[in-house]
Structure 1
């Protein structure tokens, strides 16, 4: 059951690293957006606590979470009394507030490309890939339901377009070239779910640059550590 998948929780202290002020990330392990924020924290080597807020069982609309996020979504973030919601705001803050490898290119054009890719994922990719295709092919059967083929087909159509665009934008084994950027961290959790679908996985495998990118990213310790536990 999806809710069983949603139930695991953990507390993370990456590499035993010391953070002067506590960092708390609110969001469930299965959330792609919470995972993106976790990936940023892991890549920077920031110690943090993950507070599981299971939005699928209504916990997102509990008063304490609505105080963190007015729409009851995830992730939400706290650091030294400073609070944020919206994933890109969180990941940019993490990159700029903490020492560690930079997650945003210094070159203005590469940084603009990074932001563009994040926007493509957020504006077009997530709804088609996770909200329609993955949900119908993986989650509905997991819950004992019958997938809606029409919704899945709609998701696959947009997914193919998104993959075409990202294949064209990708600089190589890392989306913006050079080192890991926020673009890589925004796309990876969505692709993890895409590859769990039959037709979506096949469409992804047909993209040579994105496939090489996946092989590069999939082996990173942060990716392995934050992988959702299924079943």
Structure 2
């Protein structure tokens, strides 16, 4: 099989999720830069890959996908390497529940309402940050309640749930409020410290500082 292609940018939380999955599977890939914040707008050709103009998009031997969850599951199932999804129905459902919960309730609160607001805005909207932290607390409480015994979110094995959560929480802890809140959840704090030490996490860190925090966080 040919080398897969990921369309997107290093600053993207969701592009990073896909790249983490590829790294954990040991799959070589090409990252084709797509700057959705370019002065001239999103490149016209990109809408053939993602009709809504968001990132990431993915292509493998002529097969195109968009939507991060679908891409992550395809990579896990189409390539050799360690399995990143449980076989049994209940833990697989839990994995999907965690990813869906993070998308629906954690991403905006942690990334936009707290981290971007604190790091990007002058002056920041303190009410927005406070609201984001309240939502983030609820999300962390839910994540803690769903976490199984063991080093990873589902227990002994690293899964797509871990790789989905890591970039979102990784952005949240860029600010002091995020670190302080995460420290209240010792199990999630320890989990994050563990996943942040993985080679895949280091390899997918954004290179350089030329992109604004707001750009890094959007997708």
Residues 230 and 132 of structure 1, relative CA distance in 2, 3 Å threshold: farther
2:143 to 142, 150, 166: 166
Distance between the aligned counterparts of 1:37 and 1:25, measured in 2? 8
Deviation at 1:95, TM superposition (A): 0.2
Give the secondary structure class of the aligned counterpart of 1:180: coil
**Contact 1:60–1:66 at 8 Å: present in 2 too?**
no
Instruction: Give yes or no for contact 1:26–1:75 (8 Å, CA) kept in 2.
Output: yes
The answer to whether structure 1 residue 219 and structure 2 residue 197 are counterparts is yes
Query: 2: distance between equivalents of 1:49 and 1:223?
Result: 17
1:177–1:60 distance in 2 versus 1, CA, 3 Å: farther
TM-aligned CA distance change 1:59 to 1:102, over 3 Å: farther
1:176 to 154, 167, 172: 154
2:8 to 27, 34, 38: 27
Unaligned ranges ≥5, structure 1? 1-19
Whether the aligned pair in 1 keeps the contact of 2:35 and 2:42 (CA below 8 Å) is no
SS in 1 for 2:49: coil
- Following the alignment from structure 1 to structure 2, what is the Cα–Cα distance between the partners of residues 77 and 107? 27
Q: TM-score, with normalisation over the residues of structure 1?
A: 0.86
Q: Distance in 2 between matches of 1:53 and 1:149?
A: 32
Query: How far does residue 71 in structure 1 lie from its aligned partner after superposition?
Result: 1.0
Query: In 2, Cα distance between the equivalents of 1:139 and 1:216?
Result: 28
2-structure distance, mates of 1:60, 1:178: 44
Is the partner of 2:53 in helix, strand or coil?
Answer: coil
Deviation at 1:22, TM superposition (A): 2.4
Offset at 1:148?
1.4
CA displacement at 1:147 relative to structure 2? 1.1
Q: TM (normalized to structure 2)?
A: 0.91
Residue 201, structure 1, aligned to residue 179, structure 2: yes
Higher mean C-alpha displacement, 49-58 vs 90-99: 49-58
Structure 2 matches for 1:81-160, cutoff 5 A? 81-140=62-121, 145-160=122-137
How far apart, CA to CA, are the structure 2 residues paired with 1:125 and 1:58?
A: 30
How far is 1:59 from its partner? 7.0
8 A contact 1:76–1:84 mirrored in 2: yes
Q: Give me the CA root mean square deviation.
A: 1.4
User: For residues 16 and 146 of structure 2, what CA distance do their matches in structure 1 show?
Assistant: 23
- Indicate if the aligned counterparts of 2:111 and 2:172 stay in contact, CA closer than 8 A: yes
Which shows bigger deviation, 54-63 or 152-161?
A: 54-63
